[in-house]
Amino acid sequence: MQKPDFNIEEVNKIIRGRRSMFAAQFKENDPIDDSIIEEMLENARWAPTHKLTQPWRFIVYTGEGLKKFADYQADMYKLRAEKNGTPFLEATYEKFKQQPLKASHMIAIILKRSAGIPLMEEIAAVSMAVQNMYLTASAHGLAAYWGTGGPTFWQEAREDFGLEGEDALMGFFYVAKPASDTWPEGKRDSMDEKVAWIRE
Ligand SMILES: Cc1cc2nc3c(=O)[nH]c(=O)nc-3n(C[C@H](O)[C@H](O)[C@H](O)COP(=O)(O)O)c2cc1C
């Protein structure tokens, strides 16, 4: 294969310009074409993966699927409070029931474990796949964010997401058209205190 003709300026621009935008910034009731979601998933596919385990699994919710998920997480939030005594707030219940409906698509992020490599490497591979989706969404000017709320860490949800053993639900990637043309400012510390160079 011939060496690809990458454009570093574009790569820098998209990596540094990628931003999260949250439900309050979503344009509601204006779905994105499924073809864009498919492009995001195709790019997720090309993330690096040790021993090619490709541990990522995704479930895409859209349309009535979003309502199904919203009702599911709200009901489970209530059930957990009744059964486990976890806190229950009516406002949180309503948020679980309403917030997903603001998105165009939501992608549940699942890690399917393979034996033979450390779990950390599988988490890293799935995270890189999600980054590819993030970059693709931003490159399309879309609003998107990775959220680890709701059922992400709920034991009761594991079976419903087909999780066994060390499989993990790693959260939810929400995508929508943005409500406005403004783009969020990025905020990061300098790398000065985060990088050490050893030269001799
Ligand atoms: C693993 C992971 C989990 C995250 N979970 C949440 C979350 O639960 N809620 C949320 O508002 N943002 C979440 N975020 C998004 C961060 O808030 C966001 O990346 C951060 O504020 C930096 O903003 P930027 O993505 O626009 O650069 C998550 C990001 C990552 C990588």
Does residue 14 fall inside a structural domain?
Answer: no
* CATH number for the domain harbouring residue 136: 3.40.109.10
Does residue 158 fall inside a structural domain?
Answer: yes
Supply the range of the domain harboring residue 182: 20-193
Query: Which residue, by CA, sits nearest to atom 27 of ligand 1?
Result: 19
Query: Which residue, by CA, sits nearest to atom 31 of ligand 1?
Result: 146
Does residue 71 fall inside a structural domain?
Answer: yes
Does residue 45 fall inside a structural domain?
Answer: yes
Does residue 3 fall inside a structural domain?
Answer: no
pLDDT of the residue at 50? 98
Instruction: Identify which of 146, 152, 153, 175 to mutate to test ligand 1's pocket (most ligand atoms within 8 A of the CB).
Output: 146
Per-residue pLDDT of the chain (200 residues; tens, 9 = 90+): 999 999 999 999 999 999 999 999 999 999 999 999 999 999 999 999 999 999 999 999 999 999 999 999 999 999 999 999 999 999 999 999 999 999 999 999 999 999 999 999 999 999 999 999 999 999 999 999 999 999 999 999 999 999 999 999 999 999 999 999 999 999 999 999 999 999 99
Query: Which residue, by CA, sits nearest to atom 18 of ligand 1?
Result: 20
pLDDT of the residue at 141? 98
Does residue 148 fall inside a structural domain?
Answer: yes
Q: Is 146 in the pocket of ligand 1 (CB under 6 A)?
A: yes
Q: Is 150 in the pocket of ligand 1 (CB under 6 A)?
A: no
Q: Is 123 in the pocket of ligand 1 (CB under 6 A)?
A: no
Quote the number of domains for the chain.
1
Does residue 2 fall inside a structural domain?
Answer: no
Secondary structure of the chain as H, E, C letters: CCCCCCCHHHHHHHHHHCCCCCHHHECCCCCCCHHHHHHHHHHHHCCCCHHHCCCEEEEEEECHHHHHHHHHHHHHHHHHHHHHCCCCCHHHHHHHHHHHHHCCEEEEEEECCCCCCCHHHHHHHHHHHHHHHHHHHHHCCCEEEEECCHHHHCHHHCHHHCCCCCCEEEEEEEEECECCCCCCCCCCCCCCCCCCCCCC
Does residue 9 fall inside a structural domain?
Answer: no
pLDDT of the residue at 100? 98
Query: Which residue, by CA, sits nearest to atom 12 of ligand 1?
Result: 147
145 CA closest ligand 1 atom index: 15
148 CA closest ligand 1 atom index: 8
